[in-house]
Structure 1
Amino acid sequence: MLTDLVDDASALAEVEDPLEAELAGAFFVAMAQSGGDETMAAFAGALVPAIESRGTRAALTLLTAIGAVAGDAAGPVAGSAQQAGARLTGGGVAAPSWADDLAQPLTAGPFTRLYDDQDTMSVLIGVFQRAGREHALMIMVDHQDCGAAEEIYLLGAEDLPTAVAAIHQDARADGVSIRTKKLGAPEFRWYVEQALEARAVHDEEDGPGDVPAGLDLIDGEDGPGYAPLAVLTRSRLEVLPPARRPRGATASRHASGRTAMDVLQQLAALIGSSGGPASFGLDLPAQRRAQPAKLPPKRKKSNGPAPVYQIKVSLRGAKPPIWRRLLVPGDITLNRLHQAILAAFGWHGDHRHVFDTGYGQFGRADRDLGHRSDGPVTLEQVAPAVKDKLRYTYDLGDDWEHDILVEKTTPADPAIEYPACVGGRRAAPPDDCGGIWGYQYLIEVLADPNHPEHQDRLKWLGLDDASQFTPDTFDLDQVNQRLRAR
């Protein structure tokens, strides 16, 4: 576990935004916090020294990230990490690239509270600045759940107006009015501390003697979950003046108890499944990521004709693999590529889709989801080089995720009608069968004539006999006929 923990931190040393390092440190502290004083002592007195004993830059990187989590919330863990990091630095170990930025002062403000006229929810927003970068924390508070924090969002400050507009839009759709109040730093700190305290107690009550149900170290998209974001939030509160209860506000009173070994075992499992601390802040959900890179300009006529891209589109999670190899013009729009993928896999196209790229998410324009229109954006804009990759998801319920890899580029052949399919493997799953796991279950049902759902599934597929279901076949001519028909 220790080897994975430290070695995986090497990639963290070169991240551009120190906020990602703070998230990795917050993850570590969240693990220690979840077990109470015993686990905090175990992390500070045993695990941190074990990390230091590695004596490498990766070890110093992880210690610096942990030590960046300030305040009483981090307890002895951050202090122990700071001391261990200082010893490694004094011994000549090179500091991570972002260490100087983290040493700069953190400033804060403005602070805002949004609340509805029916007193069911509120949103606390604080903006923070360091080393020329600005981000916002948005804490959603459920007044019908003892005023507990329901969710925490970490956004680039430039994304905040869009997020606030979405809150107002959703409220109007529900017939609710949202009011806005500017807060001073002490009042903001009081509201947030009350919400975090109530949530902490509820999480402990939900999972007595086990992992608290609301611990949420990693969310469904492999970004930071509630727990590390709560640690980061408490660390941010430390730079504010002491909390002061606003006039008329009601305090929430809750009190919080898990063994050190339980937490260490969970940490080992999470390291093995998540890719290590270097991944804790590097794959944030769209609403929590920093602003994506600026989209490159489109090809100009003076640049000449676009090359043909050979791309391999693979359905994630499919075993045996299901894939299609397509030839498409480099200047094909993402929407047209979406249509080509539908044809190549036989999807009927009645569901939403999105392309995840290094330049943002593109699909049907949706401000709430953070999706920009894929109509004007071309493939070569978001994948300009061979070996570039992007993700395409069809049906945001079943989540048919596809990996798209640019294998090579060639000049266009006048004799070929593009898009064209030149290879593939296996039939694609039928639409609406429940995602990749539902498809695997469907195969099992159809392979067993005695299964109680066998006949119902045949009827749903419009088949008379299971022999007509041939998931191992791939019909190249049929795929190209569908491509020409689009």
Structure 2
Amino acid sequence: MQTWGMSPVSRGRKNGKKPSPKESAPARRTSRPALSSVPDIRDQSPRSHDDSETELRAFTADMLEMGGVLRENDDPLMAEVAGATLAVLDALTEGSVLTEGSVGTAFLQEIVPRLEAAATGDALAVLLAVGSVASGPVSAAADAAAGRLAAAGVSRPRWADELTAPLVAGDFQRRYDDEGVAVFLSCTVERAGRPHAFLVHVDPSACGEAADLLVLPAEDLPRVLEEITAAARKDKVRLRTETLDAEEFRWQVENALDARAVHDGELPFEDDEEAAPFLRFGEDDAIPFGEEDGEDGPPYEALAFVLRSRLATLPTPRKPPAPHADDDEDDGIEVFGGMAGLVRMLDERGMDPAAVAAGPLANLTGQPGLPAVGRPPTPPLPKKPKRAKEQQAPIYQVKIGLRGAKPPIWRRLDVPADTSLTRLHAILQAAFGWDDSHLHVFETPYGRFGTPDADLGQRAERPVSLEQVLPDVKAKIGYTYDFGDNWEHQIVLEKILDPDPSVRYPRCTGGRRAAPPDDCGGVWGYGALLEILDDPAHPEHHERLEWLGLDNPADLDPTRFDAQEVTAALSRLR
């Protein structure tokens, strides 16, 4: 059995267009051979009914050559993947094969008759492979043609009977970390005594999409999982293991595949030479599936197609699919049908729709009874710039100001552009003297990042770098610390500098005034605290001194600032 793993373009793929071979992301895989001997039929451009006879013959010849490889193999999984690869090619599709489940009429009307006319074992193998994954008229035509060839004495491939054997899935596991860096869903499937495994890498920072998908021999799964755990441990990420039941596993995997399908329909394919390997915790560490990068593996869509067929054998989830973040974030309510549904919902809950329309709805929209207007969709997160292994990231000069503080309180820092948001959070805590005892979030044009929390609409910050959310000079993002005191900061990219080998980063190069202490009640509470400390006769004066652990009010000097002290605090983060 082959091992097939795809490392698709996670941020630049999509828009329904399939990538050319040069655009396809290289795959990380084991040393076992993949479909290296199968002709790369993705090199063929789409062909319609008006294509010349020469082109149709050439395409049929390519498929027969692939059929020869399939006929010599004894693994039915290879035939399924090959058939799914055919099904998702532009040359054979009209519309979305993943949603409609059938290949186009060009294949039905032109290719199937030509394969049957060839009357060879190679043609029979291709027809069986397509029939195993297609549905509707194409499946019927491929199966019928295959049946006629078999009846005429054409030898069937060894795996033909195994395609109809029942599938038995098990060993459903979920591996995850507490910081929301990555999730891995795995299972094994056995058919006719042949066990294989699926491993899905879920990216929590991208709406929980299936970022990568690996199909491998079941006996190789423990080793691959050990490599994943070791790679995580190297980056100080602890993976936990959870056993799932079949229904929950199907629900989680289908949500990941569906989120990926939404993204694949939103963004155009791009030539992404920096496509991530199957897993990357740090900037340079990838799981060592093998020494060579395969460029001839099946596309992600084909593997997902086969995986969905396996999921269909599991119990149907009783809970509804998880809503996609892009589907339910500030979308508003449709004025006519939507408002009627809202009124029915309020009535069922014993609430007065008229009172709600005159109150909360009016407050939200400014117009009684009208729905809120949805905000523009969040743009996709920019990709991380690709650099040579020895090349250093540029230095970002950023100015961080505390909103609402009068006189202003701010810091100017030099930070490597590839600093993760997790580390940036630690840098900001040190620069302002916060004690990191509360929640925080980064507000960016590309979404909210912090500790992953679906209720708060926050995605994982750890995989995101500063340069992704501040791509240009004068770009701005927000940083809020302590949702009670609500310390809001504005971070502005002032300059992009070349790194200085004599300087240790991050460092502080400027600023003004001391930062408020934690838990003092926000900007307003800090002002009140300073007034109390300045008045020895105030009834709370001694209580506040004791709370701050101070003997003298002068020890809290709001005007004090020392860039070298801040830099020293930053150096202790290393």
Whichever of the two has the greater Rg, that structure is 2
Return the structure number with greater helix share.
1
Q: For this structure pair, what is the TM-score category when the shorter chain's length is used for normalisation?
A: 0.3 to 0.5
Q: TM-score, normalised by structure 1?
A: 0.46
Q: TM-score, normalised by structure 2?
A: 0.39
